[in-house]
Each structure stands twice: as structure tokens, then as C-alpha cells.
Copies of this chain bind each other. A is one copy, B any other.
Amino acid sequence: MHYRRLGASGLQLSALSFGTWVTFGSQIARGEARNLIAAAWDNGVNFFDNAEVYAQGRAEEVMGDVIVDLRLPRDGYCVSSKVFFGAADAPNPLQRGLSRKHVHDACHAALKRLRVDYLDLYYCHRPDPETPIAETVQAMDALIRQGKVLYWGTSEWSAAQIAEAVAFARGNGLQAPTMEQPQYNLLHRQRVEQEYAPLYADAGLGTTVWSPLASGLLTGKYNDGIAADSRLGQPSLGWLQPAVLGEPADDRLGKVRRFTALAAELGESPAQLAIAWCLRNPRVSSVILGASRVAQLEENLRALTLLERHGEDTWARLEAVFA
């Protein structure tokens, strides 16, 4: 494993990390969850990504049980949560969004589920147009001063929204956001590469990116259609289909088919190639991997070795496929 600073901060995360989205608390059994965390830890992963909304809080409960079970040293790993969508699917607006109340309540609920004294990373899972950014910054700062959160950040906020948070924090002696968690992969690059560009230098922003495989599309597994037991085939994730497959005019599937052909020619797995491509961007602090089987996780973790095997010409050919 190698480690990278989270933006300008002094926190050094593993370049590849593990996220519980989709799998923990729903798709896989607790024993398999334990094996996945153990395998990730043994391979040097030190960041485990969570959110209140993953499996309505059950993903964090499983993570908390496994951390205790494996006796991971508290100073050796980072654990995150994210606030916005709520852990309960409730009509009550107090139980979601970024008001001081929900930021406060969701933090304490995550601490309880994860069985820890503090969250290393705490994200605003989406922007909340119904709450002033100032209120959210104040709520995050209060949690940091109380020692319940170490670093706070955002997920899928616009550059303008992040810049507003940074400016308000700096102007009021409060803790500014440290990181963003955006989607980033060969098919979804604009935000990380262009929109956020000013924030890396100005605000020292770090990124923990999700969906390096574009929900599996880049593995080539949807090249011939969507199987019922695949992620996109799950009824609860049907909403992802249009986002993943894109507009016909984009020819995403065509690009992916040419990409998998290139991978085959290089003798590499498409998944490893797609993950390694993310890692080449120095603005990416950590790439979050999801997995439902240990073998799958370990294969994806080997993406790191690919960086040593290939030079600029390989990456130029890859760029040409998605041009």
C-alpha cells in the first residue's frame, strides 16, 4: 500500500480505501463483512468509509461490530460517517439535511453505531439548499472543538458551495472543510479535474473519490446487458441505471467496450486499469473501493502494482479511448 496526504492536511490515508456502500448491512452477511475488513486492513487499508444512509444505519452497525471484533487499534484507522439523507426513511424533516440539529444528532448516532469516541472524517453527504452554509460550518466546528470529529468535509458539493464554506470558516475563526467525496472515474471527470481545480491550491482540498468503476460499468460486465444479480440489476439501485449508462449519444457502452479491449490487449483486468487510472491523478487522496467478496477486493487492491508496470504511452492510449 502507499499513503497520501488528504489534501494539504497532515492525515495520510491509504491510496486505496474501503467503503461499505451497497454491501454492508444488506447484501452480505456479517461474517463476510468481517473478512473484507480484515483483508483490507492486512493489505494496508487505513480508511473505512461509511454514511448514516447506507442500509439505513445497519452498514455502520456492522462496521462497528467488526472494528471491535478485529481489535483494530484506534489510532491506526480512520472511520467516516456522512450526514444528510437520514438513517430512517422518515417524512420528518428534522431527521435529514444539514441543520445544526441533524448534523449534531447524526454524529452522535453514528458514534453509537460505529462504537467509537470520535469520527475521523465527517461529511455533508449532499448540499442542503434549505440550510445556510454558515449554520452547517458552525455545527461542524462545534463537533470538532468537542473532540467528536477530527476533519469535516463535503460530498458532491459544487465548487462554489465549498468555497463559500471555506470563506465563512476562515472569516469567523472556524474549521474549514478539509475534503470532498466526489464521484470520479474515466467516464465522470469534469468536477475533480476542472470544477474543483481552484480549491486544491486555495483551500488545500483533499478528495476521497467514489465509484472508480462507474458502478461496475468499467469492468465490462454490462457490455452484454444487465444481469439480474448485478448491482444495476438490483431493484433498489435501478435509479442508478440511467446515470451509469448515460445518454445514447454519449456512447458510454461503446467506449467501455473499447476500454475492455485495450485492457485485454495489455493483459490487465479492466477494473485494475480503471482504478489505477484514478490513482494517477495527484489530486485524488484516496480511491474508495466497494466489494462483496474478499477475492474481488484483493484483486482491486492490486491495481497499485499496475502503476509500476505501465508508462505514459499506456495512459495516452487510455485517454484516447475516452476522448
Give me the interface of A with B, judged by CB distance under 8 Å: 3, 5, 8-12, 44, 46, 73-78, 88, 90-95, 97-102, 104-106, 109, 118, 120, 128, 130-132, 135-136, 138, 142, 144-147, 150-151, 172-173, 175, 204
- Complex Cα spacing A34 to B298, Å: 50
Q: Within the complex, which residue of B8, B90, B92, B131 is in contact with A9, where a contact is CB–CB below 8 Å?
A: B131
Q: Could you name 10 residue pairs across A and B whose Cβ atoms are closer than 8 Å?
A: A10-B100, A10-B102, A10-B130, A44-B92, A75-B94, A75-B109, A76-B94, A78-B101, A100-B150, A142-B144
Chain A contact residues: helix, strand, loop or mixed: loop
Give chain B residues whose Cβ lies under 8 Å from the Cβ of A46.
Answer: 92, 94
CA gap between A150 and B204 in the complex, in Å: 30
Instruction: Return chain B residues, CB-CB under 8 Å to A44.
Output: 91-92
Do A78 and B100 touch across chains, with their CB atoms under 8 A apart?
A: no
Whether the Cβ atoms of B144 and A10 lie closer than 8 Å is no
The 8 closest A-B pairs by CB, nearest first: A10-B131, A10-B99, A75-B105, A12-B93, A11-B99, A3-B93, A76-B92, A100-B150
User: Residues of B contacting A93 with CB < 8 Å?
Assistant: 3, 12
Say how far A276's CB is from chain B's closest CB, in angstroms. 21
